[in-house]
Amino acid sequence: TKDLNPRHGSIQKLHARENDLIALCEDKVLKLLANKDAVYNADGNPQLVATNMVLGQAVPLGGEYGISKNPESFASQAYKAYFSDRARGAILKLEGGGLVPISEHGMKDYFADNLRNSVQVVGSYDDKKSAYNVTLLGPNETISFGEKTNGWTSFKSFIPEEGLSINNEYYTFQYGRLWWHHSNETRNNFYGDQYES
């Protein structure tokens, strides 16, 4: 077991990376060393041992952000992860060892106003377009953050219940049915409905 400071709120999501475990709490994001040959004495000093079956020191990642109570907003791709902090009105990118509030890339006021009023925040990553799609249920809007432009590229017409990428293809779910995106020549047709650009 590993005790974390209760002032960070409950753990909402655990995410495994190559050499560590990311604990996304309501009010903080922590990195836990994993699979290391070290344990810690009661005084906090590391002692080398012959086992790697322990969780090491909990290191807070920069910034006063967490995932609030929206683990469904989390999406990861390779070494990057994205999620929302609804309580603070921010969308974040975890890259390497730090947090970047990407909502501040021209959309700070929009997210500050709309995240708090959302019933649910659903995140997914579209490998084909290199975009993090975040859907705000309540205002019922989907917005995309593009990695190539490092900014918010568009509002989308589709409102998914969930989404994921498999083998460079993007899929979403609507009313429990699976939908394959970028698969036909008809533009702006989502879930059987045609939308205008």
Contact yes or no for 85/67 (Cβ under 8 A): yes
Helix (H, G, I), strand (E, B) or coil at 71: helix
Q: What does pTM read for this prediction?
A: 0.85
pLDDT tens track for 18-27: 778 899 999 9
Can you tell me the distance from the alpha carbon of 185 to that of 163, in angstroms, rounded to the nearest whole number? 21
Contact yes or no for 155/133 (Cβ under 8 A): no
Tokens at 67, concatenated:
């995932």
With tokens 């490092």, the residue in question is 150
**120-126 and 98-101 beta bridge pairing:** unpaired
**44-48: long-range contacts, CB 8 A cutoff, minimum separation 24:** none
Q: What single-letter amino acid sits at 108?
A: K
pLDDT < 70: residue spans in the chain = 1-2, 35-54
pLDDT tens track for 145-186: 998 999 999 999 899 999 999 999 999 999 999 999 998 888
Say how many C-beta atoms besides its own lie within 10 A of residue 32's C-beta. 18
